[in-house]
Structures are given as structure tokens and as C-alpha cells.
Amino acid sequence: MHTLKLLSSFLKVNIQMALAYRADTVVNILLNLMWLGWELLSLNIIFSNTTTLGGWGLGELISLLGVFRLVNTLMIALIWPNTEKFNQSIRDGSMDYTILQPVNSMFLVTFSRITVWRIWDLVLAIILIVVGINMAGDVTTPFNILTFMLLAITGTIIIYSLWIVLIALTFWFTKFDNNVTILQALMDSGRYPATVYPAWLRIIVTFIIPIAVATTIPLQALRGELVIGKILMYVAISFISFFVASKVWKLGLKRYSGASS
């Protein structure tokens, strides 16, 4: 309950910020539409030259674009701005204030910045998913939709955990300003099904920087391509990775306060 109240406080503060820069917000929305146009155009170019990509048709790629935008929105609306704030707070020392607040610091670090206008992107993403599925003409069962949502959440948790670990490394290597570049760099790989990539790249985006876990894999579930055992495996992995991440975060805080040395 208190957590929700805090979240709404953060949201309010961030809405204020978005309003303070309203012209920028409008420009950003326009740019966002421009990139959506580009993404659709690039799919159009690909599919004017072929009918399937990695075994998937145009409709499926549009819904993959939707899933990608869902995850990407999370990144752009939450992860990147908070990374920036986190790195800034390590540099200028305001991290001290974060630690001294009587609220879980991992929670504070995750939600203190929210790029509010990006929320409309989620609507766009869902439209893309629905339109894509309709175009593909797949028969989706309620079970498939449920597993899709479940795996989108677990994939997100896995990426989130990786993010926590990456920024927590800053507690050990103070100059590690590039802590999330690798995540940012590989993000784009989520636009296309992981099945088109050469084996080495597929291994990277599935196991090391698991972008595909939150994009390709939920969509496979939506299309009923995953067996129940695999679904359960992803759920288990997300629990484990979240647990590991919060442990690493705690160790990092200890390191910051000099408790470990």
C-alpha cells in the first residue's frame, strides 16, 4: 500500500517534470512517431523482398515489433533515465541521500525517474501486437495469451535483474560510467526474431544479454510454440536472477559504506 503511494508520488513528480519541458515532450512524441514510421517502412522493405523471415511472416514481425516496443519503452521510460540519475548521484555524492532514506534503495533507484509521456508508447505497442496477430491469422487460445503475458513479465524481470547487477558494479568500479552500454547496444537485436541470427549472436542475445528472452520468446509462447516445461524454466530463471540481483545490490551497498573492507 505504502509502495503504491510512493509510486504515485514519483509519478506526480515526473509528470511535473514532463510539463516543465512540454515543448520537448511534443518534439519527442513526433520523433517517436517518425521512428515508428521508419520501423514499419523497414519491415515493408524486408517483406517486399521475401514472404518469411526466420520462419515468421509480416504479421508476426509486426507483433514482434510491438513486443519489442513494450520492452524498449520500459528501457527508455525507466531504465535509461534512472541509470543516468544513478551515475550522476554516484558522481556528485547525492547517492548518500538515497541511502539515508527509509525506503528500499533498489526501489528508489528504479523508480525515481519516469519518462511519463512514453506511457502512450505502451498503447501503440499493444495495438501493434493485436494488429500483427490478426494479420498473421494465428489461432490464439486464452492459454497462449496468458503464457505470453507471463513470459513478457519474466523476460522483463530477467533484463531488469541484469540492469541492477550492471549498475551495482559501479560501487566497485567507480569509473564504470558505461555500465549499461552493452545492454543498450544489443537492445536493437530485439526487433527481429532471434532465429535469423548466426549462432554466436543468438547465444549472446539469449543467454548473456538476454534481450530475446523478453521479445522473441514471449511471442513464441503467443504462437503456441513453447512446451510447458520451457515456460516454467523461464519463470524459474526470472526468480533466480531477481534474487541474485538483489543480493549483488546489497553487497554493492556494503561496499559503498565500507562494510566489506
Partner 1 sequence: MFLIIKRLWQVNWAEQWQYRANLLMYLLYWLVSPIIYLAVWTSIANQKGSVNGFTANDFITYYMLLLICDQVTSNIVIHTFGYKIQDGSLSGELIRPIHPMLTNGLVNNIAFKMLTIMGLTPIWIILYFLFKPDFSSVSITGILLAIPVMLLAFVIGYLLSATVTSLAFWTTRVYSIHEFYFALILLFSGQFVPLTLMPKVIQDIAQYLPFQLLLYYPIQLIRGKLSAEQIMQGYVMAFIWLGISALLFNWVWRNGVKRYSAVGA
Partner 2 sequence: MSANSIFVEQLSKTYQVPEREAGFSAAVRSFFKRKYKDVKAVQHVNFTITQGEIVGFLGPNGAGKTTTLKMLSGLLHPTGGQASVLGFTPWELKPDYLRSMTLVMGQRNRLSWDIPASDSFLLNQAIYRIPDDVYKQTYKELDEMLELEPLMKKPVRNLSLGERMKCEIAVGLLHRPKVLFLDEPTIGLDITGQARIREFLREYNKRTGATILLTSHYMADVTALCERIIIIHQGQLKYDGGINDLSRKIAPFKLIGVRLTDADSHDLSGYGTQVQNEEDAEKRYIQVKAEDVTRITSRLLADLPIHDITITDPPIEDVIEQAFNQ
Residues that bind partner 1 (CB under 8 A): 23-24, 27-28, 31, 34-35, 38, 42, 45-46, 48-50, 52-54, 175, 177-178, 181-182, 184-186, 188-189, 191-192, 196-198, 200-201
| Whole-number Cα distances in Å, 157 to 102, 166, 176 | 24, 14, 23
As given in the structure block, the three cell numbers for residue 207 are: 543467454
Question: By CB under 8 A, is residue 21 in contact with partner 2?
Answer: yes
Q: Which residues in 214-253 contact partner 2 (CB under 8 A)?
A: none
Query: Cα–Cα distance between 198 and 3 in angstroms, integer?
Result: 43
Question: By CB under 8 A, is residue 22 in contact with partner 2?
Answer: no
- Which residues does residue 53 pair with via DSSP β-bridges, in sequence order? 56
Q: Give least dist CB 9 to partner 1, A.
A: 29
Select the binding partner of residue 229 from partner 2, partner 1, none (C-beta < 5 to 8 A, by kind).
none
Q: Which residues in 68-127 contact partner 2 (CB under 8 A)?
A: 92-94, 96-97, 99-103, 108
Question: By CB under 8 A, is residue 17 in contact with partner 2?
Answer: yes
Question: By CB under 8 A, is residue 23 in contact with partner 2?
Answer: no
Over the range 3-26, which residues count as b (16 or more CB within 10 Å of their CB) and which as e? Answer: eeeeeeebeeebeeebeeeeeebe
Select the binding partner of residue 182 from partner 1, partner 2, none (C-beta < 5 to 8 A, by kind).
partner 1
Query: Cα–Cα distance between 25 and 22 in angstroms, integer?
Result: 5
**Residue pair 133/63 in contact by the 8 Å Cβ criterion:** yes
Amino acid at 181: T
| 93 Cα distance to chain centroid | 27
Select the binding partner of residue 237 from partner 1, partner 2, none (C-beta < 5 to 8 A, by kind).
none
- Which residues does residue 56 pair with via DSSP β-bridges, in sequence order? 53
Over the range 197-225, which residues count as b (16 or more CB within 10 Å of their CB) and which as e? Answer: beeeebebbbeebbbbbbbbbbbbbbbee
Collapsing DSSP to helix, strand or coil, 203 comes out as: helix
Q: Which is nearer to partner 1, 135 or 182 (CB)?
A: 182
Q: Which is nearer to partner 2, 173 or 200 (CB)?
A: 173
Question: By CB under 8 A, is residue 203 in contact with partner 2?
Answer: no
Q: Give least dist CB 30 to partner 2, A.
A: 21
Question: By CB under 8 A, is residue 174 in contact with partner 2?
Answer: no
Q: Which is nearer to partner 2, 20 or 199 (CB)?
A: 20
The residues binding partner 2 (CB under 8 A) are 2, 5-6, 9-10, 12-13, 16-17, 20-21, 92-94, 96-97, 99-103, 108, 254, 257-259, 261
